[in-house]
Structure 1
Amino acid sequence: MSDFIEQLSPLHTVEREEITKAFREVFALSAGKRVLFWMLEQAAIYQDAFAGEATNSTNYTLGRQSAGRRLIEMLDAVDPRFYPALLIAIADLKTIDLAAAESLAKQQEGEEYDVEA
């Protein structure tokens, strides 16, 4: 792999460094992690591609998954810890979201009883 990197043109080297920097910046933010995970969900990474006799549907899902795997490969290329850390961070964010939703539901429930007649 190092032979390949050594053969990159200066333009490709700069582009590679900039995309790596951008991934690191995006990954540093909770919002960035949410977007990356959303992109993986849209790429059907977490669903079964097989659609029975509907081979076109299966192939479509496999194509989406290919794009998702490329995103995971890029995360791994930038830092092999990014994808596992993303899964942990998303689990934590979902716990926070659930607590916020429960709090909002209780708040809205309380408002229903505070309506003046």
Structure 2
Amino acid sequence: MSELDEHLLPAERQEREALAAAFREVFSLPSGKRVLFWMLEQCAIYREAFAGEAVSTTHYALGLQGAGRKLIAKLDEVDQRFYPTLLLEIATIKAIDREVATNTRSEDDDVDA
């Protein structure tokens, strides 16, 4: 138990544990990993925030990235292996998606012939 946990009320501790269990459940499924990665992509984590003279656009991107960093921090709080594992496994999931798409196109080409 961390020092922070010692200062939580029992209801707050229970809520934190329930949320951690929910993250573990979501993370245990390939579809859950796909959704988590999609959420991080929507938070502009993997894009440059600076938009030149468009200061409001830069601020908007920084706000999105802040939300993404909170999600990564929560993943790290639950299990420090989650985010690195997500990055490795999403690469595998995307490779499988590309292979399926290629095979589907090949089958469509065979039908047209």
Instruction: Tell me the TM-score normalised to structure 2 length.
Output: 0.98
In the alignment, the residues of structure 1 paired with residue 3 and residue 81 of structure 2 have an alpha-carbon distance, to the nearest angstrom, of: 24
Question: In the alignment, what sits opposite 2:52?
Answer: 52
Unpaired runs of 5+ residues, structure 1, are none
Q: Which runs of 4+ in 1 moved over 4 A?
A: none
Question: In the alignment, what sits opposite 1:18?
Answer: 18
Pair 1:32 & 2:43 matched: no
Partner of 1:8, secondary structure, is coil
Q: Which amino acid aligns with 1:74?
A: K
Shift of 1:3: 2.4
Q: Which amino acid aligns with 2:99?
A: A
Question: In the alignment, what sits opposite 1:92?
Answer: 92
- Give a deviation string over 1:19-43, Cα, whole Å, max 9, x none: 0000000000000000000000000
Percentage of identical aligned residues: 54
Q: Which amino acid aligns with 1:45?
A: I
Question: In the alignment, what sits opposite 1:77?
Answer: 77
In the alignment, the residues of structure 2 paired with residue 7 and residue 74 of structure 1 have an alpha-carbon distance, to the nearest angstrom, of: 19
Q: Which amino acid aligns with 1:84?
A: P
In the alignment, the residues of structure 2 paired with residue 3 and residue 37 of structure 1 have an alpha-carbon distance, to the nearest angstrom, of: 30
Instruction: Tell me the TM-score normalised to structure 1 length.
Output: 0.94
- Number of positions where the alignment pairs a residue of Structure 1 with one of Structure 2: 113
In the alignment, the residues of structure 2 paired with residue 3 and residue 107 of structure 1 have an alpha-carbon distance, to the nearest angstrom, of: 58
- Structure number, greater radius of gyration: 1
